[in-house]
Structure 1
Amino acid sequence: MLKKLFLTTTALVMLGVGSAAADGKVLKYTHYQPGREDQPKHAAALAFETCVEKATSNSIDVQIFPAGQLGNATSALEGLKLGSLELAVVHDGGISSVYRPFDVFALPYIFPDHETAYKVLDGDFGKEFGDAMLAETGIRLLAYADNGIRHFTNSKHPIKTPDDMKGLKMRVQPAPVFISLMESLGASPSAIDWAELPAALAQGTVDGQENGVTNIMAGSLYQSQKYASLDGHVYSLHAYLMSDAFYQGLADAEKRAVDTCVVEARTIHRDMTRAQDLSAEKVLTEVGMEVYVPTADEIAAFRSVAQPVVEKQLEESVGAEWVAKLKEATASAQGAQ
């Protein structure tokens, strides 16, 4: 069951004022999609809440705060580090502001499909990466889920080749790797927070942006974006992140409940987002966008221009080791199929 708590200030929430579980453990859980069951993050959150409370006989009271009610990604990550927030499902660009190596997943055109991505993320590479993040930040990476395969949209013209990107003012997440991606293609990048993006597009502050179909629909971005190019340049991620201080304070049975229930939430989150990814052309066409699906040769042209530039930037910013390990894990996953 979802506790609909409408508190007047974030400070009150973060302090746990008015908690319904004064004698138990309160798990404040925030995410950044609307609080509707047709939204992958929220459907997953509801499932996690039900699962954890049942498995722990309500010794953990899960309180869900959708649509960024507890502040932006940066403030949520700081809350996780400080222990004032227990769980946040955060997008990749936001995570990299606290743990820069997360940028490695933005290496363009690295994952050819969902199956390959899941093998890499759920395998040895994903575990090693999460362990490194925990050691550096005190934030426990419980699971990786989909933020949608990212595509280009804009209000000016169709994007079929890298040359079509030149001169476009494009919004990016506040992460250097996305700036490098846009610059490699000749576009002019502008870092804008997600909450400000719909207004920036509507007002013409930027011509376009890049996101998966789930976020395009969640933010109603199609209202000011006429053209979509389904190039799939980045396999974008959400991560289920927990304060390790909170996790370590749980009883063993409660830890097992969290570990089990987050897998259930991740599965729902992935399944819903993947279904939208696979129907992107239909979904975006139905809301009035002009959708272009690049050929394999056209995507190869984008890859040849963008990947070397971004890879070099990543080697400098996150280290050549992480880049090499991701490429090796991806090749291994593809070979195992």
Structure 2
Amino acid sequence: MIQRRHLLASTCLAGLGIAPLARAQSSYKSEYRLSLVVGPGTAWHAGAEQFAKLVRERTAGRINLRLYPGSSLVQGAQDRELSALRQGAIDVLVGPCVNWSGTVKDFAAFSLPYLMPDAKAVDAVLASDALNQDFYAIMRRAGIEPLASGEYGNMQLINAKHRLAQPRDIAGMKIRVVASPMQQDIMNAMKANPTSMSWADAQSALASGAVDGLMLTLEQVQAYKVPSLGQKYISRWNAINELIHFAVANPVFKTWTPEDQQIVRGAAKDAAAELTRLVRKSAASDELLKQQGVEVYIPTATEMAEWKAVVRTPYDKWKASINPGLITKIEQVVAQSAKA
């Protein structure tokens, strides 16, 4: 009798263990919408594509991520992605948080000029509590479950007019920026004329000469054939190096089993690491750009000091406005990495 009761109890417990799993998986969507700004050919897109592939393979098809490049779910307006995610129109985001900083100002933290001056600093930040605890807590409060982060790459100054060796060289030029007040302030500090527009609009504006230049990573310059749009001068001022974040809407993440949550997180970490590798590989050589008739200029130490000095005012303004405590922690991580 005792053995039979034990068997019945074990059977019931097993049933209870299976039922929640079955219910959880039955609530899975047939497709999860992943939004990103860029299209094929970029390291950013390759990272998102690999993420989707790894998730599909490792969950045996239980979680199927479909990419929507060009922020097509929000008609190309990348600054609306976070709002769309909160409303359920987007399930997964792969991109830099600055695009969503109009909704959450702390998301602009990694856009501060010269915050992360080199790969060593980026690696230190990627491994830090400042990112993985403090910043990720901000993302969670905003309705996003952060999975992993990788390097976006330095956004260099690119234009169709002439070499930009010093800040005064960009004065009066019409420069495309994303919908970020900080980027506008940075351009204003150099007496340039910042113009906010989507990437889709920017391409036609560059081709027609409606804008003179923009900030873009070198791998994106190559992927989008920006020299064919008349952009023949690049200055490696290395001022802004964002992070790309892989994230899922909190309500969606909670519908997945703990096992699948871990699988998705692991896939994001692997994809983020590959993204960082691709970005650095693309930025390592200027040879391909030079073959296309592009002048790639590396400012001298004196000129770099001028670039850093001129953006200090917007840096101080936005540090005070965004989250001074968080940014101080990031600064400390970067300073420590320079000593190592």
Alignment of 1:123-272 (within 5 A): 123-127=128-132, 128-135=134-141, 137-223=142-228, 224-272=230-278
Within the candidate set 266, 277, 284, 2:283 is matched to 277
Partner of 2:22: none
Q: Which runs of 5+ in 2 are unaligned?
A: 1-24
The number of equivalent residue pairs is: 311
Letter in 1 for 2:324: A
Q: Determine the C-alpha separation between the residues in 1 that align with 2:236 and 2:49.
A: 31
| TM-aligned CA deviation for residue 22 of structure 1 | 8.5
Contact 2:149/2:269 (<8 A) preserved = no
Quick one: structure 1 residues 288 and 102, their matched pair in 2 at CA, closer, same or farther if it must change by over 3 Å?
Answer: same
Within the candidate set 320, 330, 333, 1:329 is matched to 333
Contact 2:109/2:323 (<8 A) preserved = no
- Does the residue aligned with 2:338 lie in a helix, a strand or coil? helix
Partner of 1:55: 58
Cα distance per residue 1:164-219 (max 9 Å; x no partner): 12111111111111111111112111111122111111122211111111222233
- Does the residue aligned with 1:332 lie in a helix, a strand or coil? helix
Quick one: structure 1 residues 98 and 240, their matched pair in 2 at CA, closer, same or farther if it must change by over 3 Å?
Answer: farther
Q: Determine the C-alpha separation between the residues in 2 that align with 1:54 and 1:291.
A: 41
- Does the residue aligned with 1:167 lie in a helix, a strand or coil? coil
Cα distance per residue 1:136-190 (max 9 Å; x no partner): x111222222222011111111011111121111111111111111111121111
Pick the structure with greater CA Rg: 2
Q: Determine the C-alpha separation between the residues in 2 that align with 1:147 and 1:301.
A: 24
Q: Determine the C-alpha separation between the residues in 2 that align with 1:173 and 1:291.
A: 23
Q: Determine the C-alpha separation between the residues in 1 that align with 2:201 and 2:84.
A: 22
Contact 2:116/2:122 (<8 A) preserved = yes
CA RMSD of aligned residues (A): 2.0
Partner of 2:18: none
| TM-aligned CA deviation for residue 75 of structure 1 | 3.2
- Does the residue aligned with 1:60 lie in a helix, a strand or coil? coil
Partner of 1:74: 79
Q: Which moved more, 1:74-83 or 1:291-300?
A: 74-83
Quick check: which one's helix share is greater? Answer: 2
Letter in 1 for 2:323: G
| TM-aligned CA deviation for residue 51 of structure 1 | 1.8
Alignment of 1:2-13 (within 5 A): none
Partner of 1:43: 46
- Percent identity (aligned): 25
Letter in 2 for 1:334: A
Q: Which runs of 5+ in 1 are unaligned?
A: 1-20
Within the candidate set 97, 101, 104, 1:99 is matched to 104
Q: Determine the C-alpha separation between the residues in 2 that align with 1:333 and 1:225.
A: 35
| TM-aligned CA deviation for residue 321 of structure 1 | 2.1
Quick one: structure 1 residues 76 and 170, their matched pair in 2 at CA, closer, same or farther if it must change by over 3 Å?
Answer: same
Letter in 2 for 1:290: E
Contact 1:170/1:206 (<8 A) preserved = yes
Letter in 2 for 1:317: S
